[in-house]
Structure 1
Amino acid sequence: MTPQPFTVADVMTKKVVAVLPGADFKEIVTTMQRWKVTAVPVIAGEGRVLGVVSEADLLLKEELHDHRLGLVEQLRRLDATAKAGSRRAEDLMTSPAVTVTPGASLPRAARLMATHRVKRLPVVDASGTIQGIVSRSDLLKVFLRPDDELAAEVRREVVERLFPLSGQRVDVRVDGGVVVLSGQVRDGALIPVAERLARAVEGVVDVRCDLTAAEDEA
């Protein structure tokens, strides 16, 4: 009965800016600046994702340009020093890439970004072929859903299903993504369920539940 959740496929950007493994440093920087992105997937073959080059990977060259590391620090930062001395995408990239599938839920994508401290994820199919890219801002798109669309979904997926007999006495209002449920229902035990399900609708910011049980059912 839970409303159908949005997936990564619903919000991802399908037009992907990517580079080949042999792309040189300047080409990568130029690509990022031209398309205003902070990271690019590195792809091979027919779109298989090998890794991701981010601004952080590229900035290592600048960071270590005038800073000569001691032996201990070199050993501690082997990966960083190797990248700082590299010029090609295949050597600069972080691999394997942290990816997500089109059918993954938005909370799963958000957790992956938070866990791995990345701002975007390549979206790949079962074979590892790129299908799109999802960013932090993409995950917030659901909160741009119109209030009337949210109200219609809450009524259809929550009120009408939970309260088929008394649903017509329930008022559903949405303002700025905040859902307000009011009115009387026959089964008071389902009021907490209604609040939980309304809160689960993608794009809902908050829920205020003023439902009460009809006196003959209280």
Structure 2
Amino acid sequence: MPISECCTTNVITCGKDMPLPEVAALMRRHHVGDVVVVEGEGSGARPIGIITDRDIVVETIALQLDVTVFTAGDMMSSPLVAVSETDGILESLRLMRAHNIRRLPVLAQSGGLYGIVSADDVFSLLTMELSLMTGVVVDQQDAERRQRRGGFGPSGNAGAIQH
């Protein structure tokens, strides 16, 4: 399954010159834990980095630094680790694990931003898939039990041999 089927396409973005407090305000306003930093505007915007709420806390607040002197460009993780919209879920999980990250921007074929996928998005999808698979197994077991109660074969005759 391509990652495009489970990613969020409504991605919050900012330019690299946005002051860090404004980036944090964007996260709060939109109830997200990340902002993708882009260069350019509109359909020509290209993702160049990502900032997470954790980045802000660990890299500035925990160190008691003045957040007002930093911009998105100062704080963003770069180079950007991303996947293509046609990449599979397993490839996305491998990238997350290899880079020790929980969010991946998803790039369109054009190189622009298609969406973003989080580890939680993938876990939710896999949980749903596993639940469906469990349902199939349970249904098959129930059908087999019902069939056994009625005997074997369409007549319910338990395979009696006739001479």
> SS in structure 1 opposite 2:137?
strand
Percent identity of equivalent pairs: 26
Contact 2:21 2:68 in 1 (8 A): no
| Larger RCO (alpha carbons 8 Å, 6+ apart) | 2
Q: Per-residue CA shift, 1:122-143, capped at 9, x if unaligned?
A: 0012443100111112212143
Matches within 5 A, 1:167-182: 173-175=136-138
Q: Give the TM-score of the pair, scaled to structure 2.
A: 0.72
- The one of 117, 128, 131 aligned to 2:114: 131
Q: How far, CA to CA, are the matches of 2:140 and 2:14 in structure 1? A: 44
Counterparts of 2:37 and 2:2 in 1: how far apart (Å)? 24
Whole-angstrom CA distance in 1 between matches of 2:62 and 2:114: 33
Separation in 2 of the partners of 1:97 and 1:179? 46
The match for 1:28 among 23, 28, 42 is 23
Find the partner of 1:107 among 90, 96, 103. Answer: 90
Contact 1:17/1:40, CA 8 A, preserved across alignment: yes
Paired residue type of 2:53: E
Alignment-derived partner of residue 153 in structure 2: none
1 CA distance for matches of 2:140 and 2:119?
24
Unaligned regions of 5+ residues in structure 1, if any? Answer: 1-5, 67-82, 152-171, 184-218
Which amino acid letter does the alignment assign opposite residue 58 of structure 1? I
Kindly report structure 1 stretches of 4+ aligned residues shifted beyond 4 Å: 83-86
User: Structure 1 residue 41 and structure 2 residue 36: aligned?
Assistant: yes
TM-superposed CA distance for 1:98, in Å, is: 0.6
Query: Aligned partners of 1:100 and 1:107: how far apart in 2?
Result: 11
Q: Normalising by the residue count of structure 1, what TM-score does the alignment of the two structures yield? A: 0.55
| Residue ranges of structure 2 left out of the alignment (5+ in a row) | 145-163
Cα RMSD over matched residues? Answer: 2.9
